[in-house]
Amino acid sequence: MAEETNTMPVISKLYCSSQAGFVVRRRPNIENGGGFVVTDCSQKFVFRVDGCGVLGTKGELVLRDGNGDASLLIRRKGGMVEALNIHKKWKGYTFDYEGSQKLVFTLKETCSCLAKNNAIRNSIEPKGSSKDWDSEIKGYFPDRNCSIIDSIDNIVAQVHELMASKDLYHVAVKPGIDQAFVFGVIAVLDCIYGESTGC
Residue 8 lies in a domain: no
The whole-number pLDDT of residue 119 equals 63
The whole-number pLDDT of residue 182 equals 94
Residue 86 lies in a domain: yes
Distance separating alpha carbons of residues 173 and 153, to the nearest angstrom: 15
Q: Who wins on pLDDT, 113 or 191?
A: 191
Lowest-confidence region among 19-28, 37-46, 183-192: 19-28
The whole-number pLDDT of residue 3 equals 44
Distance separating alpha carbons of residues 179 and 16, to the nearest angstrom: 6
Query: How much is the mean pLDDT over the chain?
Result: 78
The whole-number pLDDT of residue 179 equals 93
Average pLDDT, integer, range 171-177: 92
Q: What angle do CA 37, 110, 157 make, to 5 degrees?
A: 40
Distance separating alpha carbons of residues 127 and 162, to the nearest angstrom: 34
Tens digit of each residue's pLDDT (9 = 90 or more) over 121-169:
766 665 554 556 678 888 888 889 999 998 888 999 999 998 777 789 9
| Domain span including residue 22 | 13-192
pLDDT over 90, % of the chain: 26
The whole-number pLDDT of residue 18 equals 80
15 falls in which pLDDT band (50, 70, 90)? confident
Question: In CATH, what number is assigned to the domain containing residue 73?
Answer: 2.40.160.200
Number of domains present in the structure of the chain: 1
The whole-number pLDDT of residue 137 equals 87
Contact 84, 71 (CB under 8 A): no
Tens digit of each residue's pLDDT (9 = 90 or more) over 31-68:
556 789 999 988 899 999 988 765 566 778 899 999 99
Residue 4 lies in a domain: no
Residue of 24, 9, 184 lying closest to 107 (CA atoms): 184
Residue 6 lies in a domain: no
Contact 173, 22 (CB under 8 A): yes
Average pLDDT, integer, range 67-72: 90
Average pLDDT, integer, range 73-92: 69
2 falls in which pLDDT band (50, 70, 90)? very low
Residue 39 lies in a domain: yes
pLDDT at 5 over 50: no
The whole-number pLDDT of residue 41 equals 85
The whole-number pLDDT of residue 166 equals 74
